[in-house]
Amino acid sequence: MENPYIPYPVSIDAITIENDAKDLKTFKLTFDREEDLKAFTYMPGQFAEMSVFGKGESPFGIASSPTEEGYLLFTVKRTGTVTKELHNSEPGRKIGVRGPLGNTFPWDRMVGKNIVIVSGGFAFTTLRSAITYMLCKEQRSKFGSITTVYGARDPGELMYKDILKSWEANTNIDLTLTVDRAPDNGWHGRVGLVPNVLKEVNPSSENSIALVCGPPIMIRFTIPVLLELGFNKDDIIISLENRMKCGIGKCGRCNVGSKYVCIDGPVFTYAELEHLPAEY
Amino acid sequence: MAQGVIKKEDLYRLLSTAAGKKKVYAPIDGVGGIEFAEIHEQKEITLDYSNSKLSPKSIFFPQREVLCTFADDALEEVQTPKEALIVFGIRPCDALSLTYLDKVFSDSAGRFKDPYYLKRRENAVIISLACKEPRATCFCTSVGGSPSGKEGADILVYELADKLLFESCSDRGQDFMKTASVLFKQAEEDHKTAAKEQAEKAKDGMPVLNLNGLKERVDKVFEDPLWDEITRNCLGCGACTYLCPTCHCFDITDEENRKGEGYRIRTWDSCQYPLFTLHASGHNPRVNKKQRMRQRIMHKYSYTVDNYGDIFCVGCGRCILYCPVNLDIRDMLNTLNKL
Ligand SMILES: Cc1cc2nc3c(=O)[nH]c(=O)nc-3n(C[C@H](O)[C@H](O)[C@H](O)COP(=O)(O)OP(=O)(O)OC[C@H]3O[C@@H](n4cnc5c(N)ncnc54)[C@H](O)[C@@H]3O)c2cc1C
Ligand code: SF4
Ligand code: SF4
Ligand code: FES
């Protein structure tokens, strides 16, 4: 019997610091065994449990895209035991990855649609995966326009700066960056909270699906804007991040009503969430 | 169905004969009350109990369990439990609860099977003991059970004056009885009549809780202020959830010694604690005890009905008996159902 609690052995191949506060780092992981790499097939929207032996495991959205072959990326904010230990690690360290877990963005339904992406803070990880996936040569023609609003507290907190730069120059995606506070100099993006900037960008809801990832408060204020823009409740896609342990629907902590975020989610439509208690 | 009768004093002889290499668990009069333990002789077994203090779920889902070990940064799997068990004396409510835990740990979609729990279950024979005199806190008949319920049991045993009447209720139970067939006397008509009468009496004496329409009701009144009122006295100690035979929540943590050797362990956890759902950001979807008790009740009487088709309460009454502030789940359900 396969044991769903046992992680694959992986190695940290590279570590990138993502923000000025230096509490966000991206970990590039490679599988120690070829067969595990093959077994780990995923789609953007899914997550995995990363473990540091002796410290514990925690769930993280998969930031790489399946089109980036041979490795996985996770961007981790330093908060507690596991994340601190990861931040104190050097390349070469052996850790574990368990997954892929959870459902994916609704890729079947997204084909042929205009995609609107709304994100704030470090929840942008799985959207990095989704955008990278859609922008790759084989996939791009399957989707309509890609409009993205991504915000952070200040410019130094925006992640994936090199990629953002390349996306800004890429006519296949319309990227709007925003920060909460106006910096002193050199900022050419917008200033304002994500929901307000989304209103200004005013993407059409015609034949469109919106993907929303961010802190609970941002999600709360973004939904009314999308509804006002004319999005159907079914076409507003939200990714939740309830606290998790097992990731496989058994330990009981991640539920929202009768749904477990780890197996029924993390991706839900607003139409689904509307009927569930607001316990997220 | 196989039937047979033994003298009470021959119980251990029977169990050990049929057990072969299996371990035998039975109720003993332990330090803190009645508990299930591995036994090696007749005099350890007690039949004088209404139910054990802790539920027998811990035999299959121990409070602490090693999931894997590691030395420095290399992980090692542990053997999933191989031992085969015979568990005698589980009450019908607790036997039923095992069928609920089975659903959680096996996952009907078959995606994620829990090898630790399932291995123990696969190799176990459950011999449950019908209730003669339910406690005042019992309400199994209101939640789909019965003092002589067979669900979850391989064999159901009736306690008669100085004898025990065995009745198999699964192939495994029948095989068990066959292995020890020489020790059984034939069940006479008066044995069967006595068992039947006893079962009827136990059932009839049980107070009935009207839970009709409860699920629809609690789904509708999720935001009602009454939840504050009915949960006001709760201490949030979590005793009710640890004692409950159907509660299955757990935590997974790592422990490490100075040499860098460690264990990944799972331990029982409880929805009654604020840390259970605390996000790393500090945000908590269930910040107060009203929300947490509501979760406990919704989980048992609504969410599991959606997910598994069953109310995850077997009416064992442990949460009522041992709550330090006498919070009675029957009262809470009654109040909610009348809203
Ligand atoms: C589906 C999903 C996807 C996610 N994706 C990402 C991602 O891409 N990137 C990312 O960075 N994060 C992500 N998260 C969040 C991430 O899982 C958490 O940040 C991580 O679990 C923290 O683990 P930790 O061991 O470092 O923190 P813990 O040690 O568990 O602590 C978390 C927080 O709780 C506090 N805390 C811990 N114990 C106590 C206590 N006893 N009393 C009081 N406070 C306490 C700590 O101070 C800390 O702030 C995701 C979560 C989910 C569910
Ligand atoms: S045992 Fe009683 S006081 Fe403790 S958490 Fe349960 S209901 Fe509350
Ligand atoms: S909720 Fe209470 S009465 Fe119901 S099974 Fe659990 S402990 Fe027993
Ligand atoms: S994380 Fe354990 S049930 Fe979802």
Ligand 3 neighbour B315 (Cβ under 6 A):
yes
Structure tokens at A132: 């990278």
Of A216, A246, A263, the CB nearest to B252: A246
Ligand 3 neighbour B56 (Cβ under 6 A):
no
Atom of ligand 1 nearest to the CA of A262: 1
Q: How confident is the model at residue A1 (pLDDT cuts 50, 70, 90)?
A: very low
The DSSP symbol for A7 reads: P
Instruction: Tell me the CATH class for A107-239.
Output: alpha beta
Ligand 1 atom 52: the closest Cα is on which residue? A241
- Residue A226: how many CA atoms within 13 Å on its side-chain side? 29
Q: How far is the CA of B172 from the centre of ligand 1 (A)?
A: 45
The residue ranges of every structural domain in chain A are 8-99, 107-239
The whole-number average pLDDT for the span A55-62 is: 96
Ligand 2 neighbour B289 (Cβ under 6 A):
no
At CA A248, angle to CA A243 and CA A250, rounded to 5? 80
Q: Does domain A8-99 have CATH number 2.40.30.10?
A: yes
pLDDT in tens, A91-131: 999 999 999 999 999 999 999 999 999 999 989 999 999 99
Structure tokens at B176: 């068990």
ipTM over 0.90: yes
pLDDT above 50 for B228? yes
Structure tokens at B282: 């500090």
**Interface test mutation site (partner A, options B69, B112, B277, max chain A beta carbons within 10 A):** B112
Q: Do A253 and B249 touch (CB under 8 A)?
A: yes
Residue B234 confidence (pLDDT): 95
pLDDT in tens, A38-55: 999 999 999 999 999 989
Say which ligand is closest to the CA of B271.
2
Ligand 2 atom 8: the closest Cα is on which residue? B234
In the sheet that holds B124-129, the strands lie side by side as B3-7, B163-168, B155-159, B124-129, B85-90, B23-30, B33-38
pTM here is: 0.93
Spatial contact of A128 and A60, defined as CB atoms under 8 Å apart? no
> Tokens 């006519």 — which residue?
A171
What one-letter code names the amino acid at A26? T
Q: How confident is the model at residue B166 (pLDDT cuts 50, 70, 90)?
A: very high
